[in-house]
Amino acid sequence: MKILILGDIVGRPGRNAVANQLSHLREEYKPDLVIVNGENASAGRGLTEKNAKELFELDIDVITTGNHVWDKKEILTYIESYPQLIRPANYPDPCPGKGYTIIHKGETTIGVINLSGVVYLSNLTNPFHTIDKILHEISKQCNIIILDFHAEATSEKLAMGYYCDGRISLVYGTHTHVQTADKRILNGGTGYITDIGMTGPLDGILGVDKDIIIQQMQNNRPARYDLAQGPVQINGIITEINEETGKCQSLDNFIRIIEE
């Protein structure tokens, strides 16, 4: 099974890039499943229901999120209605929404899990304990299991990759918006990359106007974040996973630059 995964969609530029380019990516890679991270898709922070619907109308199978999942408060009221929109599973109970979803493609069952790191981020439930709990619940029914680990620290992401090696098909990182060059298949057959990058403005800092960020770093004062203008980048990965063994057979990362 071939799976296309796009990095954090940032604001309208990122949404437009997905809307305009996803058909070309489908033609090039011919994926059976498409996953995107949508936690920054609405004005750079959070996800409105309107924008979630727009993404699902593009035949995106799963939308994962991260630490900005609750930034648009309306998601508290609508997330339960979208089982394929998931939030980090290690938010303490009770919590709206679910931390994983199960997708059926023909005779293949795919589990997609979302977790948040805790190093330099909110002090949520331990993600290593949480992944053990989820795997106990779903591993017998899923041919393929994929984890979006939304985390800041490279060390925490690497640790999660090794911890899950041989137990799930793919561990990929999101959150830092910078694609890393360490794609690999671990000894137990789990595909791994520390961060798949972002989908949004190229000429900025994590999608935000660079001058705003530079000024803030100089004066240490709060500032309103506006998204950068100009070219847009699409960052992602394409992976092929054996449907019988659940092991990753190939993993490639890509970056596309779209001039506007």
SS3 readout for the chain: CEEEEECEECHHHHHHHHHHHHHHHHHHHCCCEEEEECCCCCCCCCCCHHHHHHHHCCCCCEEECCCCCCCCCCHHHHHHHCCCECCCCCCCCCCCCCCEEEEEECCEEEEEEEEECCCCCCCCCCHHHHHHHHHHHHCCCCCEEEEEEECCCHHHHHHHHHHHECCECEEEEECCCCCCCCCEECCCCCEEECCCCEEEECCEECCEEHHHHHHHHHHCCCCCCCECCCCEEEEEEEEEECCCCCCEEEEEEEEEEECC
- Residue whose C-alpha is closest to residue 147's, from 176, 115, 121: 115
Per-residue pLDDT of the chain (260 residues; tens, 9 = 90+): 999 999 999 999 999 999 999 999 999 999 999 999 999 999 999 999 999 999 999 999 999 999 999 999 999 999 999 999 999 999 999 999 999 999 999 999 999 999 999 999 999 999 999 999 999 999 999 999 999 999 999 999 999 999 999 999 999 999 999 999 999 999 999 999 999 999 999 999 999 999 999 999 999 998 899 999 999 999 999 999 999 999 999 999 999 999 86
The predicted model scores a pTM of 0.96
- What's the pLDDT at 253? 98
Domain CATH for 66: 3.60.21.10
State the Cα–Cα distance between residues 103 and 111, nearest whole angstrom: 6
What is the reported pLDDT for 259?
83
Cβ-count burial 80-94 (b if 16+ within 10 Å, e if not) = eebebbbbbbbbeee
pLDDT tens column, 77-106:
999 999 999 999 999 999 999 999 999 999
8 marked among binding-site residues: yes
Please say if 68 is a catalytic residue: yes
Please give the single-letter amino acid code of residue 78: Y
Q: What is the pLDDT of residue 44?
A: 95
Q: Look at residue 211 in the predicted model and tell me its pLDDT.
A: 94
Is 211 labeled as ligand-binding?
Answer: no
Is 39 annotated as a binding-site member? yes
- Residue 37: name the closest of 135, 91, 116, 126 by CA: 116
Q: Which residues pair with 240 in a beta bridge?
A: 2, 250
Instruction: Check 24, 68, 104, 136 and give the catalytic one.
Output: 68
Preceding peptide of 94 cis, ω within 30°: yes
Q: Is 136 marked as binding a ligand?
A: no
Domain span at residue 199 reads 2-258
Work out how many domains the chain is built from and give that number: 1
Question: What span, in angstroms and rounded, lies between the C-alpha atoms of 63 and 38?
Answer: 6
User: 197 exposed, middle or buried (CB, 10 Å; 0-12, 13-18, 19+)?
Assistant: buried
> How confident is the model at residue 260, as a pLDDT?
65
Is residue 40 a known part of a binding site?
A: yes
